[in-house]
């Protein structure tokens, strides 16, 4: 999937493709600029991400523009639902449609795997993401409370 970027008066292509481990450093840098929490000793370590993308339940996409990662989305499948994680768009590119296109692509891939329910978890301190997902048709289910148990706090 591609798109033309005319925001700065030039046209260049944004390529959406599968994540490669060579993208790791750029992805981590993007997450940092987008203020996403990063757990380098746990689930976000190079080794854990490499193992996750080799498995059958992860779909990790990046949006690349002129060799630079400008967007990410990680989809995971729990057998019943498709979970959207790590949607990050370069701050100066937000609200330009790239995030919506990335979500549509991950949803299409979930549908091809037979899934009908798509979900995401958004932390309270991120109202921009809440608005974004509401704008593209996701509903806030206030009857659900998220609990977690971690083997270590870095995971």
Average pLDDT over residues 61-75: 96
Asked if the model's pLDDT at residue 4 lies above 60, the reply is no
Query: 52-67, pLDDT tens digit by residue?
Result: 999 999 999 999 999 9
The residue assigned the tokens 């971690």 is: 150
Q: In this structure, is residue 151 part of a structural domain?
A: no
Q: In this structure, is residue 144 part of a structural domain?
A: no
What's the CA gap between 15 and 77, in Å, rounded?
24
Mean model confidence pLDDT for the chain = 89
Q: Which domain holds residue 114?
A: 2-135
Q: Maximum CA pair distance of the chain?
A: 49
Q: In this structure, is residue 153 part of a structural domain?
A: no
Average pLDDT over residues 128-136: 93
Q: In this structure, is residue 54 part of a structural domain?
A: yes
Query: 6-46, pLDDT tens digit by residue?
Result: 444 445 689 999 999 999 999 999 999 999 888 888 889 99
CATH code of residue 116: 3.40.630.30
Is the Cβ–Cβ distance between 42 and 48 less than 8 Å? Answer: yes
Q: In this structure, is residue 140 part of a structural domain?
A: no
Domains contained in the chain, number = 1
Q: In this structure, is residue 79 part of a structural domain?
A: yes
Average pLDDT over residues 58-81: 96
Q: In this structure, is residue 103 part of a structural domain?
A: yes
Q: In this structure, is residue 149 part of a structural domain?
A: no
């Amino acid at each position: 999937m591609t798109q033309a970027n005319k925001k700065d008066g030039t046209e260049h292509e944004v390529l959406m493709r599968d994540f490669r481990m060579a993208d790791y450093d750029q992805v981590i840098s993007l997450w940092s600029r987008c203020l996403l929490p990063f757990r380098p000793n746990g689930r976000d370590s190079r080794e854990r991400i490499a193992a996750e993308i080799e498995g059958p339940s992860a779909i990790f996409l990046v949006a690349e523009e002129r060799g630079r990662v400008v967007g990410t989305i990680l989809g995971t499948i729990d057998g019943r639902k498709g979970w959207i994680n790590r949607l990050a768009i370069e701050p100066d590119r937000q609200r330009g449609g790239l995030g919506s296109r990335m979500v549509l692509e991950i949803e299409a891939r979930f549908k091809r795997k037979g899934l009908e329910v798509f979900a995401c978890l958004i932390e309270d301190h991120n109202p921009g993401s809440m608005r974004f997902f509401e704008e593209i048709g996701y509903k806030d289910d206030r009857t659900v409370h998220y609990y977690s148990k971690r083997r270590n706090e870095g995971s």
